[in-house]
Amino acid sequence: MAWRVRHAKTFYKELAKLPKEIRDKIEVVAFGSAIKEDPFLEGKVQKLTGYREYYKIRFGNYRVGLRIDVSNRIVEFRRVLHRREIYRKFP
C-alpha cells in the first residue's frame, strides 16, 4: 500500500525562493514516486531528536522538514529552509 504525500502551503512558498539547483533536487524527492513507496528507503530521512513524528532530509545547506504519520501512512512536507533557520521554525 502506497503512502499518501501532502505538501504544506509554506513548503511551496519556501521552495519557490530557493536556488534552482537545490530546488530541482528537492522536487525529485518531494514529488517523485519513490517517497510514496517507502519514505524511509532512501536512507536520507533522519529523525529529529525529541520529536515522535518529525524528520528532516539534508540537501547541502538546506533542510526539508517532514512529518511522517506511520499509523495513517502519511508523509507531509512542511518546510524547506537554510540549515541556520530550519531548527528555529520547524517543527
| pLDDT tens-digit series, residues 55-76 | 999 999 999 999 999 999 999 9
Structural domain span for residue 48: 4-89
Number of domains present in the structure of the chain = 1
| pLDDT tens-digit series, residues 2-46 | 899 999 999 999 999 999 999 999 999 999 988 899 898 767 899
**Which of these, 43, 51, 61, lies nearest to 90 by C-alpha position?**
51
Give the helix/strand (H/E) hosting 13: helix 9-16
CATH number of the domain at 31, please.
3.30.2310.20
pLDDT score recorded for residue 27:
95
pTM listed for this prediction: 0.91
**Residue type for position 28:** V
